Amino acid sequence: MTHSITRALQDPWSGGSDPRWRSCSLSESLFPQDICEDPRLFVDGISSHDLHQGQVGNCWFVAACSSLASRESLWQKVIPDWKEQEWDPEKPHAYAGIFHFHFWRFGEWVDVVIDDRLPTVNSQLIYCHSNSCNEFWCALVEKAYAKLAGCYQALDGGNTADALVDFTGGVSEPIDLTEGNFASDEAKRNQLFERVLKVHSRGGLISASIKVVTAADMEVRLACGLVKGHAYAITDVRKVRLGHGLLAFFKSEKLDMIRLRNPWGEREWNGPWSDTSEEWQKVSKGEREKMGVTVQDDGEFWMTFEDVCRYFTDIIKCRLMNTSYLSIHKTWEEARLHGAWTRHEDPQHNRSGGCINHKDTFFQNPQYIFDVKKPEDEVLICIQQRPQQSTRQQGKGENLAIGFDIYKVEENRQYRMHRLQPRAASSIYINSRSVFLRTDQPQGRYVIIPTTFEPGCTGEFLLRVFTDVPSSCRELRLDEPPRTCWSSLCGYPQLVTQVQVLGAAGLKDSPTGANSYVIIKCEGDSVRSTVQKGTSAPEYDLKGIFYRKKLGQPITVQIWNYRVLKDEFLGQVHLQANPDDLQALHTLHLQARGRRQLSDLPGTVAVHVLSSSTLTAV
């Protein structure tokens, strides 16, 4: 079980600069009132059409801004109190020349204050700018974001997913269209479209891109009009009704469509359903007006979702995680924990062990435990490393290659893992700011181990876990039960035993089969499985871990048949579980309680036992 690393250098969201600006030379800084006569924050409101990419290679950022502009509730978070910040021609003396913006960084909204001097060449803005020469919201947001990153140079190449998260506090989920084979698999494509439509309809932000393999591919324009290595904002997602009049209504034929925007404000898709294509004759005039279809080279265009999956290689969905109990939509429970990879000479205190490739140090990483409390639950997990701020002298801060593994552990585990257990899921490892994983898991207890790819790397991270019901997620800090002043009186554990009940066979049957469950008991502690219905040969796969003080007292495994009024005892076995017991897997006949004979109760139980006098062996 090893991991490989994906380099962000291959990330399709990095983007390059607009080639029209590459001839720009020496720049200066001017105030908006020196650039135009009537500077405004907004001119005729805010729109995704306002933005045009400038000299810096941040199409990824401009694409995210285009998506942001279409969501009033979101941009008003990024641009707070915008009416108070707007220039007021009637009160020129009230203008202070500063603006403040909010960005979500590392678990909290950060207020960034800037002045209004902007880089120019020949009195023209050289970075992000608006269609209207006197509209400055996008240039000012870009300057605030550059300040947050360290400098404008830090925006030259980046990740759309990061900007989307910084604008919303949401969770970005990358979709690899090529690897998922969505272009040729209609069922998978339809399912993905429904998910994209749901994210869009619930206020999320989405972007698309075409991956580049070599530097020579960057910003190469394809015959279809699309640009490789370039981030496009998805500004609308809808099912478009085909046909005209009542016939279209009753026929109810719809097409899955996506509207995209090139941050350059030009260079559009020229295939089917492009601005001037004949396919639009299949859609009524009223439907086209409702969709906002225009015939002009403004960088915005429509495509079928099938063509999106055929020509684009990646989609980023930034989901807004609904945690409000008052909402009619699905409500998520979020656990948010801050952690760090730190170096220490003592292995017990070292927390920078690297990925599973480095088995000697892997378990020295931070560990977090959470519970899936439903029979099966969708779990969303995201780790985000603290961004490295850039400076002009030092250049751009490099991200660590990060990822995480999830292991299914004992139902009653309270201390750190020290031995490999079944891996439930695993993320990719990439030198990106954040890594996301969506996984469906059965009921039980799990441990997340976030790591850097190589051991010895240090940094801070934020772990976010989303489940349908509270997961009780927390960090495991202790390796074994702590010694206290009561340990000398009450005793300290001398043995650790892991018991796994795999299943049973030949249980006492009934017309509908046994509805059985198993309980493992040891020195006052116990774990219980879910009920396995209608079978005399159930598979429990129940694990418990016990730190034992009374070595002469056996561990008891009991099987019960669930009944509405009173549960029926089906049998039990006792396990000595000594460290020198080398037969780890036991198949044992069920015994009765008291003095009854072994033959009195039918059935066997399969049990896996691991014991050690070293408390950190499991």
CATH of the domain at 199: 3.90.70.10
Asked if residue 215 belongs to a domain, the reply is: yes
**In which domain, by residue range, is 378 found?**
333-387+400-476
- Structure confidence at residue 17 (pLDDT): 43
Whether residue 514 sits in one domain with residue 414: no
- Tell me the pLDDT band of 395, cut-offs 50, 70 and 90: low
CB 56 within 8 A of CB 145: no
- Structure confidence at residue 358 (pLDDT): 96
- Structure confidence at residue 525 (pLDDT): 95
Q: What is the DSSP letter of 507?
A: P
Whether residue 35 sits in one domain with residue 56: yes
Asked if residue 439 belongs to a domain, the reply is: yes
Which residue in 319, 332, 428 sits closest to 377, CA to CA? 332
Asked if residue 175 belongs to a domain, the reply is: yes
- Around Cβ 215, how many Cβ atoms within 10 Å? 9
Q: Which of 58, 159, 262, 561 is catalytic?
A: 262
Whether residue 180 sits in one domain with residue 116: no
Could you confirm whether 262 is annotated as catalytic?
A: yes
Could you confirm whether 59 is annotated as catalytic?
A: yes
**In total, how many domains does the chain have?**
4
pLDDT in tens, 127-136: 888 888 899 9
Side chain identity at 219, as an amino acid letter? E
> Cα-flanking dihedrals φ and ψ of residue 131, to 5°?
-60, -40
Is the pLDDT higher at 125 or at 21?
A: 125
- Structure confidence at residue 14 (pLDDT): 43
277 exposure class (CB count in 10 Å sphere: 0-12, 13-18, 19+): middle
pLDDT in tens, 467-503: 999 999 999 999 999 988 777 777 889 999 999 999 9
pLDDT in tens, 550-559: 988 999 999 9
E strands, 28-179, are: 28-30, 51-52, 98-105, 108-115, 118-121, 124-125, 129-130, 171-176
Integer Cα distance of 560 and 574 in angstroms: 15
pLDDT > 70? residue 609: yes
Integer Cα distance of 479 and 491 in angstroms: 18
Integer Cα distance of 284 and 251 in angstroms: 14
Contacts 24+ apart (CB under 8 A), 274-282: 274/225, 274/301, 274/302, 275/301, 282/242, 282/243
pLDDT > 60? residue 380: yes
Side chain identity at 484, as an amino acid letter? T
Whether residue 501 sits in one domain with residue 462: no
CATH of the domain at 585: 2.60.40.150
Side chain identity at 357, as an amino acid letter? N
Q: Which of 3, 52, 200, 230 is catalytic?
A: 230
Whether residue 48 sits in one domain with residue 99: yes
Q: What is the DSSP letter of 145?
A: H
Where a domain ends, among 102, 134, 158? 158
Where a domain ends, among 319, 351, 375? 319
Asked if residue 12 belongs to a domain, the reply is: no
Side chain identity at 433, as an amino acid letter? R
- Structure confidence at residue 10 (pLDDT): 38
582 exposure class (CB count in 10 Å sphere: 0-12, 13-18, 19+): exposed
Q: Which of 3, 52, 58, 59 is catalytic?
A: 59
Could you confirm whether 100 is annotated as catalytic?
A: no
Asked if residue 558 belongs to a domain, the reply is: yes
The average pLDDT across 504-526 equals 88
Most confident segment among 32-46, 247-261, 411-425:
411-425
CATH of the domain at 350: 2.60.120.380
Q: List Cα–Cα distances, 516 to 142, 444, 509, 561, 575, in angstroms.
A: 62, 18, 10, 4, 20
Whether residue 195 sits in one domain with residue 134: no
H or E, element range at 188:
helix 186-201
pLDDT > 50? residue 18: no
